[in-house]
Amino acid sequence: MLIELLNEEKMQVVDEVKSWEEGIEIAATPLLKKNYITIKYLRSMLDDVKELGPYINIAPGIIMPHSRPENGVLQSGMSILKINNGIPFINNEKIYLVIMLALIDDKSHLNYMSQLATLLMDEAKRNELLAVTNVNDLKELLIKVEK
């Protein structure tokens, strides 16, 4: 379950950020502080986007920065940053949600990716997710969606 990877410490809601890079850095902060990832993993995610383009733009208004486990994942974890006012991404699409996924191996992500895809492919649920404005509502929505 996605909620197993999350808790309130890994959910953040802010009104704005200066850039998509700062959004990724803020989203990574809880995982860095709790030793889920290293600074190398954060740098790798940023470098990958700069090199490969907007491949992390997984749904309208949503990016999922990630990199290979060997680039600095210490334990599987996930964090979410909601940016209420949005921020332009490199493809000029406005981003409101940064879902950071750090998984220890290539196989464990399949279950979590399937759950995320189910959530994000449902337009009503995705819109509800993009509309939350505080951590409590975000947490309640994720719990509701998983039931």
Residues acting as catalytic residues: 66
Measured in whole angstroms, the distance separating CA 43 from the mean position of its chain's CA atoms is 15
What tokens were used for 120? 């994000």
